Amino acid sequence: MANLKEIRTRIASVKSTRQITSAMKMVSAAKLRRAQDAIMQLRPYADKLNEILMNLSADVSLQNNVYAEVRDLNKVLIVVITSNKGLCGGFNSNVIKRSIYLAEEKYKELFKKDKVDFFVIGKRAFDYLRARKYRIIAEENNLLNGLSFDNASPVIERLMKMYINKQYDRIEIVYNQFKNAAVQVLTTEQFLPVAEDKKDKTEHAFTYEYIFEPSREFILVRLIPRSLKIKFYRSLLDSFAAEHGARMTAMHQATDNASQMIQALTLQYNKARQASITKEILEIVSGAEALKTK
């Protein structure tokens, strides 16, 4: 059994850790509120924009649009969105594992030919993939430090140009979608080419009537790039909110675990102290009896 000093030291250490995790939980909760408000405000706009896009494409084919051009797969880009910091449970590892699985399984033949690249947003994914020699063409870790639509736009435009210039024939995004503070949904989405959702087109084509100026074709050409930017920015906001939710949950669990450990160590300390006192009493009694005998 550990001596009393060692147990006291461990109790003090765990209490200090509990203070840190509790503080981190409160910080993440405050950041989560702001991030949650941002994604909740964007979702109705993004959904309505997509609804209008589907209504437009019901009568105007996307086949001739530069962003919807379906080509033979010769090269694929996977955009991985994680966080810059850890201590958020399996938030980062789940995204990294899904990205690697996507590269090595879904695009197995292209991966063997070094035709699958990674575009990384988040230091955690960058460090992991770089250490294992995966092909990383770019990293935008600083984007998460001041996340805004204006800051994200150049990155999104860069990805769109890569597709238009035929550097890549398909671009996919892997990220955590925010559901609530305790739940993050691991998501894989095709960013480019734009996929026509025939189900949505059928639903919306006969439900809404719009007057288009100057024409459906003109608006569709202008709307698709805007829709792509909003879609990607939504993924960033989802991931940002999910990160703080995952960290808040992880720190809450760590704080509870620390409290349980303190209780267990306190009980162990009391037992050790009681045993020490009992031993001392026995030694005193034994000494007294020895003196009486003499």
Q: What is the pTM of this model?
A: 0.83
CA angle 43–46–51, rounded 5-degree value: 125
Is the residue at 240 inside a domain? Answer: yes
Is the residue at 14 inside a domain? Answer: no
Is the residue at 271 inside a domain? Answer: no
* Weakest-pLDDT range from 97-101, 112-116, 197-201, 213-217: 197-201
CATH code of the domain in which 77 resides? 3.40.1380.10
Average pLDDT, the chain: 87
**Residues forming the active site:** 88
**Which band of pLDDT confidence, cut at 50, 70 and 90, is reported for residue 201?**
very low
Is the residue at 206 inside a domain? Answer: yes
The better pLDDT of the pair 147, 200 is held by 147
Is residue 137 classed as helix, strand or coil in its secondary structure? strand
DSSP code string of 90-123: THHHHHHHHHHHIIIIITHHHHHTT-EEEEEESH
- pLDDT at residue 204 greater than cutoff 90: no
The better pLDDT of the pair 228, 294 is held by 228
Its domain, for residue 150, covers 24-250
pLDDT, tens only, 255-288: 999 999 999 999 999 988 888 888 888 888 777 7
* pLDDT at 282 (0 to 100): 83
pLDDT, tens only, 76-103: 999 999 999 989 989 999 999 999 999 9
Is residue 177 classed as helix, strand or coil in its secondary structure? strand
10: how many CB neighbours lie within 10 A of its CB? 16
* pLDDT at 291 (0 to 100): 75
pLDDT, tens only, 105-138: 999 999 999 999 999 999 999 999 999 999 999 9
Structure tokens at 126: 């960058």
Number of domains in the chain: 1
Is the residue at 291 inside a domain? Answer: no
* pLDDT at 200 (0 to 100): 47
Is the residue at 274 inside a domain? Answer: no
* pLDDT at 59 (0 to 100): 58
Is residue 235 classed as helix, strand or coil in its secondary structure? helix
Is the residue at 134 inside a domain? Answer: yes
Is the residue at 258 inside a domain? Answer: no
